[in-house]
Amino acid sequence: TPIEETLVLIKPDGVERQLTGEVLARIERKGYELVDLRMLTPSRELLTRHYLEHEGKPFFEGLLAFMSSGPVVAARVRGIRVIEGFRSLTGPTDPTTAPPGTIRGDLGRAWETPTILNIVHGSDSPESAARELAIWFAA
Ligand code: DAT
Ligand code: MG
């Protein structure tokens, strides 16, 4: 059975709203293991590498401005099928339509800004997880 690692980010809205403990508790209750944690306000340079696939999209500038607006908690999380499993805990991108029971469905809310503020990020594939963990947890 493959044990995977994924990158979880608690975004500036999650930290600001004091939801760090709530998100980490959900990860731990699911049985996933926290193996590394850090808190930082990410630079635009780091975020440009992290959000490579979204460069050029209409929401890219707003996304970078939001993500660099304050501290973020980055977690290296380990578990069986954790990449898919954490995405399932998170729910879909839009907090308005994310189902109850998910982090975004339970805790996310609609905002007036065009930038979607949805509390957390989770890697979407093994390739993304390896790439993103190297960016956020570079030695
Ligand atoms: P996810 O975070 O669910 O993997 P994504 O990778 O497609 O979603 O997009 C990354 C982030 O960018 C997302 O969490 C919020 C923002 N975003 C995505 N699509 C957007 C849109 N159409 N308008 C505004 N922000 C958007
Ligand atoms: Mg994504």
ipTM for the predicted complex: 0.97
Q: Is 97 annotated as a binding residue?
A: no
What separation in Å is there between the alpha carbon of 123 and the centre of ligand 2? 7
pLDDT at 9 over 90: yes
Q: Is 121 a catalytic residue?
A: yes
Structure-model confidence comparison of residues 63 and 111, the more confident one: 63
Predicted confidence band of residue 51 (pLDDT cuts 50, 70, 90): very high
Distance, in Å, from the CA atom of 88 to the CA atom of 40, rounded to the nearest integer, reads: 25
pLDDT at 119 over 90: yes
* Whole-number average pLDDT of the chain: 97
Pocket test for ligand 1, best of 10, 54, 55, 93 (most atoms within 8 A of CB): 93
pTM above 0.80, yes or no: yes
Q: What is the pLDDT of residue 99?
A: 98
Q: Is 20 annotated as a binding residue?
A: no
Predicted confidence band of residue 49 (pLDDT cuts 50, 70, 90): very high
Q: Is 104 annotated as a binding residue?
A: yes
Closest C-alpha to ligand 1, atom 21 = 59
Instruction: Give the HSE-up count for residue 30: Cα atoms under 13 Å, Cβ half-sphere.
Output: 26
Task: Give Cβ neighbours of residue 135 (< 8 Å, ≥ 6 apart).
Answer: 46, 49, 50
Distance, in Å, from the CA atom of 93 to the CA atom of 117, rounded to the nearest integer, reads: 9
What separation in Å is there between the alpha carbon of 37 and the centre of ligand 1? 23
Tally helices (H) and strands (E) across the chain: 7, 4
Predicted confidence band of residue 70 (pLDDT cuts 50, 70, 90): very high
What separation in Å is there between the alpha carbon of 123 and the centre of ligand 1? 12
pLDDT at 50 over 90: yes
Q: Which residues line ligand 1 (CB under 6 A)?
A: 54, 59, 63, 93, 114-116, 118, 121, 124
Predicted confidence band of residue 111 (pLDDT cuts 50, 70, 90): confident
Select which of 117, 121, 122, 132 is catalytic.
121
Place of tokens 């696939």: 53
Closest ligand 1 atom to 116 CA: 25
Distance, in Å, from the CA atom of 96 to the CA atom of 111, rounded to the nearest integer, reads: 10
pLDDT at 32 over 80: yes
How many residues are there in the chain? 139
